[in-house]
Amino acid sequence: MPDPDVPSRAAGSAHTVCIDEDRDGQRIDNFLLGYLKGAPRSLIYKLLRSGQVRVNGGRVKAERRLEGGDQVRIPPIQVDEPGDKGTPPQGFMDALDAAIVFEDVRLLALNKPSGVASHGGSGISFGAIETMRALRPKESLELVHRLDRDTSGLLVIAKKRSALTELQALMREEGGIAKRYLALLVGRMPDGTMSVDAPLHVGLRQGGERHVQVVSQLNSSAGKPSLSHFRVLERKGGHSYCEVRIETGRTHQIRVHAQHIGHAVAGDDKYGDAAVNKRLREQLGLKRMFLHAASLEFALDGGKVPYLLNAPLAPELVDVLDRLA
């Protein structure tokens, strides 16, 4: 939810917003998404690319981090009021309310079902964050991070601005947040832990679809450093049930690294093996990608307050494991 003194839509003419100290470190794209409630993400990035949004008089990129006192120029645009799109279906709201696995005064965590987007956009009216805001209209809720739509598991939402900024800072630190996933990888992985240190580059295909690929070490400057650790927990039916720990949080990181080592995530229709996915669907009923964000570990208040959040493996994935010989 926006601050009470911040308008939910831009006025009919350009205006300037002075950034408060408590927004220090927030990315400009995330600030605009919160400030211009109802504006599609595509419009936000178009405004940034075209230079219509300026910080202290200069053009900026989407990843620019704001500082208290910055002057942000907001161009004259028309966006929908938050209520214009209606409210999420009651059944959807009930399902996400039941998916809460942790809550305190600062945070709440969902065990997000597969198929639910973290946020709306690209033809999706209501993602997890919009639905939680509809459930709790009087609370200020902000996404701390995102999960792929097809990935289930822990999705953390901040209830206080201070928690959001501290968690975002931890995400930028090496080892600031320990992230653990569970995945079924196609084929037999070797024993031990396999570390994949392979830079990733996000490209766009025709139609605007994101596609991520590993870049060669000779051209590593074209990608962002990305490090994943895969460890086999159990081999079942010729495939490998693995724990995956990631030290970076790149787009589609686990999926692309798994493909890179020749053991794609089962059920991944973007980077996986179509023939294997079809066989798993017909024989085991695997109708989704087998990737689950299982746990997050971090500490707030400068390391004084530890958190260990866990999300149980989705029932449909437990069923698949049970069916594997």
Catalytic center residues: 148
3-class state of residue 315 by DSSP: helix
In this structure, are residues 42 and 50 in contact, taking their beta carbons and an 8 Å threshold? no
3-class state of residue 19 by DSSP: coil
Q: How do strand 291-300 and strand 152-158 relate by DSSP bridges?
A: parallel
Buried b (16+ CB within 10 A) or exposed e, 79-99: beebeeeebbeeebbeebeeb
Q: Which residue has the tokens 């596609």?
A: 211
In this structure, are residues 13 and 83 in contact, taking their beta carbons and an 8 Å threshold? no
Bridge partners of 227, per DSSP, are: 197
Q: Cβ contacts of residue 65 below 8 Å, gap of 6+?
A: 25, 26, 27, 28
Q: Is 48 left (phi over 0), alpha (psi -120 to 50) or beta?
A: alpha
Distance CA 24, CA 42 (A): 24
- The number of CA neighbours under 13 Å toward the Cβ of 235 is 8
Bridge partners of 232, per DSSP, are: 242
In this structure, are residues 320 and 285 in contact, taking their beta carbons and an 8 Å threshold? yes
In this structure, are residues 125 and 80 in contact, taking their beta carbons and an 8 Å threshold? no
Distance CA 316, CA 55 (A): 47
3-class state of residue 220 by DSSP: helix
Distance CA 240, CA 262 (A): 12
